[in-house]
Structure formats: structure tokens, C-alpha cells
Amino acid sequence: MSNKEEWMSFPGYSRYFVSNKGKIKRIKEKRSINGKGFSELFLKSRNINGYKAYTLVNDKGEKKTVYAHQAIATCFISKPNTDNKLVVVHKDRNRTNNFSKNLEWMTISEFMKEEFDSGRRSNKNLWAKRIQKYGSDGGRKPPGRKVNISSKNIEKIYYMYHKKGLTLKEIADKFNCSASHIYNLLKRFDGAKSINQSSI
């Protein structure tokens, strides 16, 4: 591939041009004594999760956030012929290196397979991130989650609540579901007699 910088019009954003070296510029019309002319304005990017992004106005007059790597791949790299959802990947995984030769289209499954095969991602790392985000249970028990509980276990729940005096929350923790779900089960089981909603 030539080292010469090439510029192409960005589809849907006719006032903007992107280069194979990762730049975006806007063409602005200006008037002078000698008539009409044009000036170029190189745009400043902002950082979103490590990616370079720009606020552009499309041909419908709408302001849109556009990522540099996606714009450059759209202009300079042919998309694979597939119905699967595609993503633009940085070959060197440097999110600021938006040279077209460093970008490629991949399906999400191809990208994830490569990430795991290369060791950049692992189940251990993903679980650590879930714990960091959701807490010690890794998000396995989000609020309001419902699980299938057998009729035999519903009888156990009835016994735990009415005979052993466990709270709805204590019972919910045992069955890995929400307290409100336990309440609804008891309500269906005996018409909610003596069920204390304040313990949800």
C-alpha cells in the first residue's frame, strides 16, 4: 500500500473527508473578491473509551458522534459479504492508530474468537470484571430476577415463612431470586394470608 495520504468523501457526510492516515477534515465554502472558494478545517477529536470520535453534521442536518476508525474503514476497506453484524478492529489493538492499513472488518464471533485465542480475553478476566461491576456474586442475582421453582419447593417456602419465621429476603437468597418473587409465589399459594410485604 502506498505511503501517500489519500482522501475520500465520507458517505452521508458530504462536507467531510477522511484520510487513510486517520484524519478527518471539513470542507467549508468561502467567498472572496474573486468569487467562490473553499477552505479546509482539520477537526479535533475527543476521546471515548480510548477511541477517537468526532461530532459531525450529516447531510440531513443531524449532529452525530462518529468514530474515526469506523469512518476510515467505511471509506477505505471493503466490507465482507455477510449478513452478520460487523465491527471495525484495530489490528495492533491500539485504539488511536487509525491508519487504514491497521483496520479490518470482522464479525463479532470472529473478533471474540481471536480475543480468546490470543489470550487477550479469558473467562477468568471476564468474571473478574463482572465482580468489579456487580459485586461478589458477579451479577448472577440481579434485582427482580425470576427463577422456576417447583411445587415441592413452594411448599418448603411456605413452611420457611409461616413455620420457621424466615423473612422473604432470607428465603429469596436461598432460592437465588428476588424477595418480590417469593411474595408472589406465597400469594398464589395461600392468598397472601399473613404475608408481610414490608419484609421484601
Q: What is the mean pLDDT of residues 99-105?
A: 96
Neighbouring CB atoms inside 10 A of 107's CB total: 15
Q: What is the mean pLDDT of residues 100-107?
A: 95
Instruction: Report whether pLDDT(188) > 80.
Output: no
Residue 84: per-residue pLDDT: 82
Residue 35: per-residue pLDDT: 52
Q: Report the predicted TM-score, pTM, of the whole model to 2 decimal places.
A: 0.57
Q: Residues 37-72: pLDDT tens digits? A: 556 788 888 999 899 999 999 999 999 999 999 999
Specify the DSSP class assigned to residue 38: E
Specify whether the CB–CB gap between 40 and 23 falls below 8 A.
no
Instruction: Report whether pLDDT(86) > 70.
Output: yes
Q: Residues 108-164: pLDDT tens digits? A: 888 888 877 777 766 556 555 655 665 554 455 444 455 677 777 888 888 888 888
Instruction: Report whether pLDDT(8) > 50.
Output: yes
Q: d(Cα 104, Cα 80) in Å, to the nearest integer?
A: 10
Q: Which residue has the higher pLDDT, 35 or 152?
A: 152
Instruction: Report whether pLDDT(200) > 50.
Output: no
Ordered domains of the chain (ranges, CATH): 7-121 (3.90.75.20), 151-199 (1.10.10)
Specify the DSSP class assigned to residue 176: T
Residue 143: per-residue pLDDT: 46
Percent of the chain with pLDDT over 90: 36
Specify whether the CB–CB gap between 68 and 96 falls below 8 A.
no
Contacts of 122 (CB under 8 A, 6+ apart): 116
Residue 147: per-residue pLDDT: 61
Specify whether the CB–CB gap between 88 and 107 falls below 8 A.
no
SS3 65: strand
Q: d(Cα 111, Cα 109) in Å, to the nearest integer?
A: 5
